[in-house]
């Protein structure tokens, strides 16, 4: 059996036989993500239907009529985070401010350092600064 690390094997299975990354992974005892990583490594174009999907909406987004749009309330919270950060607040201090204001993340729970860090450093967050 050939390895999923072989470019010719991947080209044969993915491009010629049109197997999905999951099907290729099952044949060589690897995960779909591993196969996708090797396809990317060899610059083999991935079909749109095989692209990994995001599981949920990012903070600052909402769904309306099937489309993802900006959530203005959450965008204001993101702007506040950036403002605090630019004033020298640390991530833990920003967490404390948000929790004391009663602002909640999408989960509805309290803010945690990791969530604040991810929101401030996400692409959508950078767009809200403009």
pLDDT at 129: 52
DSSP 54-121: P-SPPTTEEEETTEEEE-HHHHHHHHHHHHHHHTT--HHHHHHHHHHHT---TTSS---HHHHHHHHH
DSSP letter (8 states) at residue 20: -
pLDDT tens digit sequence for 65-119: 878 899 999 999 999 999 999 999 999 999 999 999 999 998 899 999 999 999 9
pTM: 0.56
Q: Which residues contact 21 (CB under 8 A, 6 or more apart)?
A: 14, 32, 35, 36, 39, 46, 50
Residue 65 to residue 67: CA distance in whole angstroms = 6
- Look at residue 54 in the predicted model and tell me its pLDDT: 61
What are the tens digits of pLDDT across the range 17-33?
Answer: 999 999 999 998 989 88
If pLDDT is split at 50, 70 and 90, which confidence band does 130 have?
very low
CB of 33 closer than 8 Å to CB of 52: yes
Identify the pLDDT of residue 125.
Answer: 56
The encoded tokens of residue 33 equal 């993500």
- Structure confidence at residue 123 as a pLDDT band (50, 70, 90): low
Q: How far apart are CA 76 and CA 127, in angstroms?
A: 12
124 band by pLDDT with thresholds 50, 70 and 90: low
């Amino acid at each position: 059996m050939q390895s999923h690390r072989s470019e010719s094997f991947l080209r044969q299975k993915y491009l010629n036989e049109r197997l999905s990354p999951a099907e290729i992974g099952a044949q060589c005892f690897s995960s779909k993500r591993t196969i996708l990583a090797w396809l990317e490594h060899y610059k083999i174009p991935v079909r749109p239907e095989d692209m990994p999907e995001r599981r949920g909406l990012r903070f600052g987004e909402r769904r309306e009529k099937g489309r993802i749009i900006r959530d203005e309330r959450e965008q204001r919270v993101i702007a506040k985070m950036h403002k605090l950060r630019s004033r020298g607040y640390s991530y833990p201090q920003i967490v404390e401010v948000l929790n004391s204001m009663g602002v909640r993340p999408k989960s509805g729970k309290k803010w945690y350092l990791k969530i604040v860090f991810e929101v401030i450093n996400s692409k959508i967050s950078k767009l809200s600064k403009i």
